[in-house]
């Protein structure tokens, strides 16, 4: 959230790149892979999407932090779900269809039968669904990273695909093998999000 991945304060090209565009709102030339965010009201370098959880755009400079955030959320929810289910097994017995109904529809039964146990079931299922959601989200964004595309480019063949290992480095930086441990590890990115054509071939190598 503290990373400004927009075009603010950047030295932008003065000539329109074949893959770039002129932004009428920002009144400037937007580099390749940059798109204007209506929520942030500014063009974002290598914009992937506007994250509703962090209320900021995910772009060139904070892409790795977003991936780490999703990874940590996935690990936390899976870890919590394991112990939650273990805890729940001592309170729930599957001896009738009503007990199964309570598991499938915890919110409905919470209002019908207010008990502490039913409240536990409701929260446990919320955490479990969170694990499924973050797992799917993590898989989706790792696939994009390995193909060197962002969300807008997911159905296109990437012009910046340099192989999986180089693609990982483009997102996570030169010390990509360490950044998963903590966000405080410095890992310089090979691209500034502006001069793509100068650093990467326009065709897959």
Domain locations in the chain as residue ranges: 72-132
Q: Would residue 55 be called left, alpha or beta, if left means φ above 0 and alpha means ψ between -120 and 50 degrees?
A: left
pLDDT grade for 12, boundaries at 50, 70 and 90: confident
168-178 residue pLDDT tens: 999 999 999 89
**Of the candidates 205, 200, 74, 195, the residue with the CA atom closest to the CA atom of residue 142:** 74
133-154 residue pLDDT tens: 999 999 999 999 999 999 988 8
Quote the tokens at residue 6.
């927009």
Cβ–Cβ < 8 Å for 11, 62: no
Quote the tokens at residue 63.
């892409």
Q: Could you give the CA distance from residue 124 to residue 119 in angstroms, rounded to a whole number?
A: 9
Tell me how far apart the 2 most distant CA atoms of the chain are, in Å: 72
Rounded to two decimals, what is the model's pTM?
A: 0.81
| Cα separation of the two ends of the chain | 34
Query: Which amino acids are annotated catalytic?
Result: 51
């Amino acid at each position: 959230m503290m990373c400004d991945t927009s075009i603010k304060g950047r030295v932008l090209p003065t000539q329109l790149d074949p893959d770039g565009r002129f932004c009428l709102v920002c009144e400037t030339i937007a580099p390749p892979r940059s798109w204007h965010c209506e929520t942030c009201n500014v063009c974002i370098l290598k914009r992937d999407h506007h994250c509703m959880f962090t209320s900021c755009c995910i772009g060139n400079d904070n892409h790795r932090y977003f991936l780490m955030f999703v990874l940590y959320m996935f690990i936390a929810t899976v870890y919590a779900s394991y112990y939650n289910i273990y805890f729940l097994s001592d309170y729930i017995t599957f001896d009738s269809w009503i007990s199964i109904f309570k598991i499938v529809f915890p919110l409905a039964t919470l209002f019908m039968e207010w008990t502490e146990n039913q409240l536990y079931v409701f929260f446990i299922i919320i955490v479990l669904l969170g694990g499924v959601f973050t797992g799917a989200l993590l898989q989706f964004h790792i696939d994009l990273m390995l193909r060197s595309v962002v969300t807008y480019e997911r159905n296109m063949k990437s012009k910046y695909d340099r192989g999986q290992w180089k693609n990982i480095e483009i997102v996570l930086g030169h010390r990509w093998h360490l950044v998963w441990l903590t966000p405080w590890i410095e890992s310089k990115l090979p691209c500034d999000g502006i001069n793509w054509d100068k650093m990467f071939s326009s065709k897959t190598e």
